[in-house]
Chains A and B, each alone.
Chain A
Amino acid sequence: MTQKVKVAITVNGTLYEREVEPRLLLSDFIRHDLGLKGTHVGCEHGLCGACTVLIDGQTARSCTLFTVMVDGSDIKTVESLGTMEEMHPIQEAFSEVHALQCGFCTPGFLMTTVEFLEGNPNPTAKEAREAIDGNFCRCTGYENIVEAVQLAAKKMAAH
């Protein structure tokens, strides 16, 4: 019989109590069980960073965690940032300087930027570049992403 484990996980402010298989990856829990498709799954072995979410305020790759490991945690996905009508300053910045092409990697970059700017509200281009070294953009649009991270910092300081 397949083992199921009870978990209570808060995602974007909503508490979800579910029974899950121990092998269920957090990325699959978020996308399939909760239907939050904003978190993208690229490589599924911890290289590309597309599935990055915040767990208790810290970035992590949701494809290299079992859901059961984060029982009791507070998780934020890209859906927590803003809406089409009212974007988060980081989303506005990415939009304004064309920091996305196909957009597949963007949710991971956005969540990485959230954590980074909390610790460094006024980054240099070099620091911004280093901050995104764990995220791959296969369109190779890095120049604009670095620019967007710095623009986002300015927007957030003005808020």
Chain B
Amino acid sequence: MKPAPFDYYAPTSVEEALDKLTELGYSGKVLAGGQSLIPAMNFRMARPTALVDLNKVKELSYIKPTADGGLAIGTMTRDSVVEDDILVNERFPILVNTIKHIAHKQIRNRGTFGGAIAHADPAAQLPAAILLLDANLKVLSKSGERWVKATDFFIGPFMTVLEPEEMLAEVVLPPMAPRTGASYQQVSRQKGGYAQAAVISTVTLDGSDRVKEARVALFSVGESALLASKPNQVLAGQVPTAEAIEEVAAYVAKNECDPGTDIHGTEEYRRNLVHVLVRRALIDAVQQAKK
């Protein structure tokens, strides 16, 4: 068999799962959809001592509207369920567009919303999406719950602030402001493959078409998903001219990402991609906001 042996637990409730995670401590790992973890285990790059499988914890799979117009998504909700959900399509079309770029249908049918976030792959879509959408994360442990902002959640490649006895239980997306446009831009060798660089943006305009807020998230170009700060610093309160957007794109490519060099592209090439993609993403988001 390809993966190394491990102890297996299949709790049927959150309470039971948290008990098990506390008991196992550093030797325990949560198994969600398994679409990243199992390939890594098949290569024996990952050899967890024990897995706590959440597939039978039905209470972690849901999409609920929040009173303010946002959404709460349970951690075990499959990507394809989020993708096809009417409320998600209505309230967060950019999230649907982003999820469509995750691998392929066969993977999205099994991969989970919270699993991809907790896995924190620097080349994954969802960590960047929740930075962009300023999500709040509900983290549970036996001793209670705590809330972590998406911007405080990721600390490095495949690293988050989650403690071994904790689990990510829910992702809460605050509502999109009126007159917000969004855009997803990536360059990859093939559809469904890892992006060499990718950018997701939102732009909110006021009544006179000046920028209220501009957000730009990047992935595949650093040690974790990134949220750039320059776009809002430059564009807030301004009319988003082509020149201003160009200035922002050039700055982000030079100073707000940290791409590496590998067989698919050099650092220089990836910075160039970031420059182009940030520009495209902001121009497109402004156009969408005006619709």
Contacts of A28 in B (CB 8 A): 1
Contacts of A115 in B (CB 8 A): 105
| Contact segment of A52-60, A74-82, A93-101, A146-154 | A52-60
Contacts of B7 in A (CB 8 A): 3, 22
When the two chains form their complex, are residues B4 and A60 in contact, meaning their CB atoms are under 8 A apart?
no
When the two chains form their complex, are residues A46 and B38 in contact, meaning their CB atoms are under 8 A apart?
yes
When the two chains form their complex, are residues B10 and A68 in contact, meaning their CB atoms are under 8 A apart?
yes
When the two chains form their complex, are residues B8 and A61 in contact, meaning their CB atoms are under 8 A apart?
no
Interface size on B (CB < 8 Å)? 32
Contacts of B191 in A (CB 8 A): 130, 133
When the two chains form their complex, are residues B38 and A64 in contact, meaning their CB atoms are under 8 A apart?
yes
When the two chains form their complex, are residues B42 and A64 in contact, meaning their CB atoms are under 8 A apart?
yes
Instruction: List residues of A (1-55) whose CB comes within 8 Å of B's CBs.
Output: 2-3, 5, 21-25, 28, 44-46, 49, 52, 55
Expressed in whole angstroms, the Cα–Cα distance for A61 and B3 within the complex equals 16
Contacts of A69 in B (CB 8 A): 31, 34, 53, 55
Instruction: List residues of B (188-212) whose CB comes within 8 Å of A's CBs.
Output: 190-192
Among candidates A21, A60, A66, A130, residue contacting B106 with C-beta atoms closer than 8 Å: A60
Contacts of B80 in A (CB 8 A): 58
Q: Is A65 located at the chain interface by the 8 A CB criterion? A: yes
Distance in Å: Cβ of A73 to nearest Cβ of chain B: 10
Interface of A: prevailing SS = mixed
When the two chains form their complex, are residues A134 and B5 in contact, meaning their CB atoms are under 8 A apart?
no
Q: Is A112 located at the chain interface by the 8 A CB criterion? A: yes
Q: Is A105 located at the chain interface by the 8 A CB criterion? A: no
When the two chains form their complex, are residues A23 and B6 in contact, meaning their CB atoms are under 8 A apart?
yes
Contacts of A133 in B (CB 8 A): 104, 190-192
Distance in Å: Cβ of A13 to nearest Cβ of chain B: 21
Interface centre among A3, A22, A58 (most CB of B within 10 A): A22
Q: Is B35 located at the chain interface by the 8 A CB criterion? A: yes
Q: Is B276 located at the chain interface by the 8 A CB criterion? A: no
When the two chains form their complex, are residues B106 and A49 in contact, meaning their CB atoms are under 8 A apart?
yes
Contacts of A60 in B (CB 8 A): 106, 109-110
When the two chains form their complex, are residues B38 and A22 in contact, meaning their CB atoms are under 8 A apart?
no
Contacts of A137 in B (CB 8 A): none
When the two chains form their complex, are residues B1 and A21 in contact, meaning their CB atoms are under 8 A apart?
yes
Distance in Å: Cβ of A23 to nearest Cβ of chain B: 4
Expressed in whole angstroms, the Cα–Cα distance for A55 and B107 within the complex equals 12
Expressed in whole angstroms, the Cα–Cα distance for A61 and B111 within the complex equals 11
Contacts of B265 in A (CB 8 A): none
